[in-house]
Amino acid sequence: MDRLSRERIATIVGAHRAKDPLLAVPGRRAAVAAIIRFDRVQPEILLMQRAERDGDRWSGHVSMPGGNFDPRDEDLRATAIRETREEVGLDLAECAQGLGRLDAIQAVARGKILPMTITPFVFALVEDRPLALGPEAAAAFWLPLEDAARGARAAHHRMSVSGTAIAPAISADERNARRSAIGSRRAPPGSPGLAAADVATSGASVSPFCALS
């Protein structure tokens, strides 16, 4: 468990020299918050299931809280803080400590590479507060990081992108999902609520795991 202690994660993230990908065509910027709480049996990271909306590339996806940079934001870190407050009701400026940022990645949605970068910022929760989901979130839950890092949640996710494809995923354990899901509004088609949700390893959802393992 030492490799996922708060001290070690803070040291790794703090010393990391984050890089941004070079895009062939300059595009939009977005940021996500990797929020970790350390007061449980093992560290846990906050994930949310996005509401299903027509025309939304990430409709129904599981991700970290986050979204597009707004010109009124001071910087991308401010974007991650604002979006987290809007989506899950946590004010990271008050209840979390910023540990640093990770490499930005190029956005991918439904198998298509987008002219957009997503920058993850890591936060350690210092005050446990209840979540209050906004209209963009259908549900939220805490994923145990030690289980995910040692492959205990390894699964596969079936998706349709010009046909059917199977991708590696991290599965939300049924007991954990039932205990931790907060404010679930609507389950994705064909699933018995959040218990069947998978965290796909494409996009922003997986990038922090790579740097912390």
Per-residue model confidence (pLDDT) at position 50: 92
The closest of 209, 200, 198, 134 to 171, measured between CA atoms, is 198
Q: Is residue 123 within 8 Å of 166, Cβ to Cβ?
A: no
State if pTM tops 0.85. no
Per-residue model confidence (pLDDT) at position 207: 33
Per-residue model confidence (pLDDT) at position 173: 55
2-212 has CATH 3.90.79.10 classification: yes
Residue found by looking up tokens 């994923």 in the block: 143
Per-residue model confidence (pLDDT) at position 206: 34
List the chain residues with pLDDT less than 70: 1, 24-25, 155-213
Name the residue ranges covered by the structural domains of the chain.
Answer: 2-212
Q: Is residue 181 within 8 Å of 140, Cβ to Cβ?
A: yes
State the Cα–Cα distance between residues 167 and 153, nearest whole angstrom. 14
* 129 Cβ neighbours under 8 A, 6+ residues apart: 89, 90, 95
Residues in the chain: 213
Per-residue model confidence (pLDDT) at position 64: 95
